[in-house]
Amino acid sequence: MPHQEFAPGLQVQGFTPPLRLSQFKLIAFDMDSTLINIECVDEIADAVGLKEEVAAITEAAMRGEITDYKESLRRRVALLRGVTVADMELIYTSRLELNPGAEALVKACKAAGLKTLLVSGGFTFFTDRIRDRLGIDFTRSNVLEIESGPNCGQLTGRMVDQPWGDICDGAEKRKMLLETCSQLGISPKQAIAVGDGANDLPMMGEAGLSVAYHAKPRVREHAMVAINQGGLDRLLEVIRS
């Protein structure tokens, strides 16, 4: 079914707006280029002069041209060796911004009683701060390994395995969405999933409402709502409180 233009820069398919927020109990967000304005791994790479190289891999992964997301992330993280925690702190304070409408959408969802989930192929250094800033209920993302000893405070170029697995990729995002729904005692059809890249498609496919935000063409094609212009809070034009 093709998208219909609901309003300028806002397309829908598979349902007739408006829906009501009260129909849903959970909203899940990707972070990089969805809740926030940057791809963190690309900006970290800038600290060692490799942004262009890393960004090219990121872009291919987000378009779905790289089938092994985990391997693509390992390749990118390996190039980050030697970046310091101070470098990452500077990225957070000087480059990272919430995308327009992010705070308004999260606030509206929380006011309507929805729980919030942040699932990211990015890193806990940033997701923990966004979690605290927005009051997100649940998160899952990757941990960058940091040197101890003489090079204390520098990245090793590796990630740390976690109790749930090694890397938060598309399959892990889907798994976390389903686990959170089970924990809350709700159906995945009572969840909304918002993302922009190919690794968001598995969780978007499980959710009752899938939302593409300024997304890659493949993601827009599969989403029930495509926000192509304006902020995240444009979702509130098709789903009312």
Asked if pLDDT for residue 222 goes beyond 90, the answer is yes
Structure tokens that stand for 79 in this block:
């190039």
The reported pLDDT for the residue numbered 156 is 96
DSSP string, the chain: ---EEEETTEEE-SS-S-EEGGG-SEEEE-TBTTTBSS-HHHHHHHTTT-HHHHHHHHHHHHTT--S-HHHHHHHHHHTTTT-BHHHHHHHHHHT--BPTTHHHHHHHHHHTT-EEEEEEEEEHHHHHHHHHHHT-SEEEEEEEEE--GGGTTBEEEEEE-BTTBS---HHHHHHHHHHHHHHHT--GGGEEEEESSGGGHHHHHHSSEEEEES--HHHHHH-SEEE-SS-GGGGGGTEE-
Claim: this prediction has a pTM higher than 0.85? yes
Q: How confident is the model at residue 151 (pLDDT cuts 50, 70, 90)?
A: confident
Of 171, 144, 174, 195, give the one whose Cα is nearest residue 32. Answer: 195
**Annotation marks residue 30 as catalytic:** yes
How many domains does the structure of the chain reveal? 1
Greater confidence (18 vs 151) lies with: 18
The reported pLDDT for the residue numbered 149 is 76
**Annotation marks residue 32 as catalytic:** yes
Could you read off the pLDDT of 41-96 as tens digits, one per residue? 999 999 999 999 999 999 999 999 988 999 999 999 999 999 999 999 999 999 99
The reported pLDDT for the residue numbered 55 is 95
Could you read off the pLDDT of 182-219 as tens digits, one per residue? 999 999 999 999 999 999 999 999 999 999 999 999 99
Range of the domain at 231: 4-240
With pLDDT > 70 as the criterion, what percentage of the chain qualifies? 100
Asked if pLDDT for residue 13 goes beyond 90, the answer is yes
Of 136, 132, 124, give the one whose Cα is nearest residue 162. Answer: 124
Q: How confident is the model at residue 152 (pLDDT cuts 50, 70, 90)?
A: confident
In DSSP terms, 115 is beta-bridged to: 26
Cα-based distances in Å from 42 to 30, 51, 159, 186: 16, 5, 16, 36
The catalytically annotated residue of 30, 42, 87, 169 is 30
Q: How confident is the model at residue 28 (pLDDT cuts 50, 70, 90)?
A: very high
Burial class of residue 185 in the structure, from the number of CB atoms within 10 Å of its CB (0-12 exposed, 13-18 middle, 19+ buried): exposed
Of 179, 221, 183, 184, give the one whose Cα is nearest residue 201. Answer: 221
Structure tokens that stand for 54 in this block:
């890393």
CATH number at residue 110: 3.40.50.1000
Supply the mean pLDDT for the chain: 96
Residue 33: which region, alpha, beta or left (left: phi > 0; alpha: psi -120 to 50)? left
In this structure, are residues 47 and 83 in contact, taking their beta carbons and an 8 Å threshold?
yes
The reported pLDDT for the residue numbered 1 is 64
The reported pLDDT for the residue numbered 2 is 79
Structure tokens that stand for 227 in this block:
């926000």
What is the greatest pairwise CA distance in the chain? 60
